[in-house]
Amino acid sequence: MQVRLLPRALSNLSMSLRITKVNELIRDLVSETINTDLSLKPGVFVTLTKCETSKDLRHARIFVSIFPESETRYATETLAKERARIERNVHQKLYMKPLPKISFHVDTTAQSADEVEKLLKKIF
């Protein structure tokens, strides 16, 4: 009975390791594509914070941080408009099946951390 659980645990471990590697690869390829092919307004910076790929590898959620915050709408609209081109460039460089659909989401972790820090300063 215990021997049967070991391969399943190992397969889950290897699957999560694969997804971790796929996340890193997709993040690097999207970053490269944005840096070379996407032209944003001067002074607008887009940082890819993380990539989350679904277990079936059909969807990849890319989280972005945008500076300055006042340009968040502009940057998200630009990313949404150029998503197909970014996805096509990434798919040309990925040698895997299925090829994931890419979606962009604003990462609010830094903003939340800043708010918590301000609250803590008020308390102390």
For 15-70, write each residue's pLDDT tens digit.
688 899 999 999 999 999 999 988 888 999 999 999 999 999 999 999 999 988 89
Residue with tokens 């998200």: 76
Question: Residue range 80-106: average pLDDT?
Answer: 94
pLDDT at position 105: 95
pLDDT at residue 12 in the model: 60
Q: Who's near 13: CB < 8 A, 6+ residues apart?
A: none
Instruction: Walk me through the domains of the chain, giving residue ranges and CATH numbers.
Output: 2-123 (3.30.300.20)
- Assign 1 a pLDDT band (cuts: 50, 70, 90): very low
Mean pLDDT in the chain?
86
Q: Does the predicted model carry a pTM greater than 0.85? A: no
Report the pLDDT averaged over residues 99-110.
Answer: 91
